[in-house]
Amino acid sequence: MEENQNLDAAIDAKLNEEKQARLSGDVAGTKKAVIDIVELCYKAGAWKTLNDQIVLLSKRRGQLKQAVTAMVQQAMQYIDKTPDIDTRIELIKTLNNVSAGKIYVEIERARLVKILAKIKEQQGQIAEAADLMQEVAVETFGAMAKTEKIAFILEQVRLCLDRQDYVRAQILSRKISPRVFNADTSKEKKKPKEGDNVVEEAPADIPSLMELKRIYYELMIRYYSHSNEYLEICRCFKAIYDIPSVKEDPAQWIPVLRKICWYLVLSPHDPMQSSLLNSTLEDKNLSEIPNFRLLLKQLVTMEVIQWTRLWEMFKDEFENEANMLGGALGAKAAEDLRQRIIEHNILVVSKYYSRLTLKRIADLLCLTLQEAEKHLSEMVVSKSLIAKIDRPMGIVSFQSAKDSNDILNSWATNLEKLLDLVEKSCHQIHKETMFHKSALKA
């Protein structure tokens, strides 16, 4: 009881000092008085009094911005020193309410929200944690360090993925441009000019830009895995593979390069996939994993791949991915791999034949007639192949229908070639005739 009376008396004395300093416009004096009041409450272990004093001080008439900022920053140091979780949450909520709507303490509020969201997540309340984090738009904070902004947005994305809110996760991920990770951090920071916003240093627990790059692409892999967008997943692994710390350590880049190869094979055939496939084949590191070099080589070679032989060769490697960095390739991956091999084989057949019976195609691809027709139709619909099926005759034509202009242009080209040949022949005959005439005269 006596301790409480002493604390109240000490706080009252400091409140009078704070009032005099505030009314006289003494910034340093007001800040000192406010910090002293907060310290008195902390040292006495009076957490409820601390919360009450924070609210009281923030609401005093004409309270200085610098004093509120100093008070919030001082009180934030005591969050980890609270005796129990309820006291901690109460203190965070008090500071949150005090800093709400105040631009000069927006960074502190963002950090408080992040701490509270972490507590909610530990209690199993993922949805509440995600909702808390989404209330803060850190991309508008001019004074926050770039790495801290990225780390905060990545935390928002992670929580959305944890609650399986993929639409919001995509929207939030677009706030980060991948180009930001390619910024040259070695350049010296320019000294801020007078009038410029001073950017605060990021806290010590914020990862470096390259670590954030890895976290970003790992989250994007989680997002794209939901919809089985294999080419996008491959591009994410490619970005991780290009991180200097990964490239220097074979224990890290070998599993990543394996994943790049698998997802390239799983990706539908298109110009982007073809470009990545050829650039990966040129990578010298691929010689460390010869099996995967052979796999990619088979895809760029215009030859029919026998599925059963390929699966026997790579089945163990495929199943071993579950024990590697990045985890298994997904439940649907084996089925999709067979689909891609069939599509490759159909493209190979279309290069060598202009017309072919459906039965012969089915024999070449080791499929039934129904399966061959189904895969052909799907490729035509996705516009990765030009073909027409004459079902009564059972003939597939891989030639595209030409319009009248194309036909006329081809005729004109043929006539030009013919006339050129006739002219060359006439010239050669004339040359031979002149040669024989000169020989006879001699």
Residue 321 has what pLDDT?
A: 79
Mean pLDDT of the 405-414 span: 76
Is the pLDDT at 30 greater than 70? The verdict is yes
Binned at pLDDT 50, 70 and 90, residue 13 comes out as confident
Q: What is the pLDDT of residue 351?
A: 85
User: Where is pLDDT greater, at 131 or 192?
Assistant: 131
Q: How far apart are CA 250 and CA 213, in angstroms?
A: 19
Answer whether 48's CB lies under 8 Å from 4's CB: no
| Residue 304 binned pLDDT confidence (cut-offs 50, 70, 90) | confident
**Backbone Cα Rg of the chain:** 36
Lateral strand order in the sheet of 355-357 = 355-357, 395-397, 388-390
Q: How far apart are alpha carbons 285 and 247 in whole angstroms? A: 10
Average pLDDT over residues 248-252: 84
Q: How far is residue 139 from each of residues 118, 142, 151, 154, 234, measured CA to CA in Å?
A: 20, 8, 11, 12, 28
Give me the DSSP letters along 142-171. SSS-HHHHHHHHHHHHHHHHHTT-HHHHHH
Instruction: Give the span between the Cα atoms of 363 and 254, in whole angstroms.
Output: 38
Quickly list DSSP for 266-277.
HSPPSHHHHHHH
Q: For residue range 253-282, what is the model confidence (pLDDT) as tens digits?
A: 888 888 899 899 888 888 888 888 888 888
Note the helical H segments in 227-306: 230-241, 244-247, 250-266, 271-281, 290-300
The per-residue pLDDT for 5 is 66
CB atoms within 10 A of CB 163: 16
**pLDDT value at residue 348:** 87
Q: Region 29-47: what's the mean pLDDT? A: 86
pLDDT in tens, 366-399: 888 888 888 888 888 888 788 888 888 888 887 7
Mean pLDDT for the chain? 83
Q: State the pLDDT at residue 124.
A: 85
pTM: 0.80
Q: What is the pLDDT of residue 157?
A: 92
Q: What is the average per-residue pLDDT within 222-250?
A: 88
Residue ranges per structural domain of the chain: 1-100
Nearest to 57 by CA among 16, 101, 15, 94: 15
Per-residue model confidence (pLDDT) at position 426: 92
**Which residue(s) pair with 389 in the sheet?**
396
Spacing of C-alpha 216 from chain mean position: 5
Average pLDDT over residues 228-238: 90
pLDDT of residue 220: 92
Least-confidence region, from 144-153, 176-185, 323-332: 323-332
Q: Of 322 and 214, which is predicted with more confidence? A: 214
pLDDT in tens, 78-97: 888 888 888 888 888 888 88
Instruction: Classify each residue of 276-286 as buried b or exposed e, where b means 16 or more C-beta atoms within 10 Å of its C-beta.
Output: bbeebeeeeeb
Percent of the chain with pLDDT over 70: 93
The region that residue 219 occupies, defined by phi over 0 for left and psi between -120 and 50 for alpha, beta otherwise, is: alpha
CA-nearest of 354, 360, 356, 357 to 402 is 354
Higher pLDDT pick, 198 / 253: 253
Q: How many angstroms separate the CA atoms of 116 and 26, rounded?
A: 34
Query: Would you place residue 219 in the very low, low, confident or very high pLDDT band (cuts 50, 70, 90)?
Result: very high
Q: Which amino acid makes up residue 289?
A: I
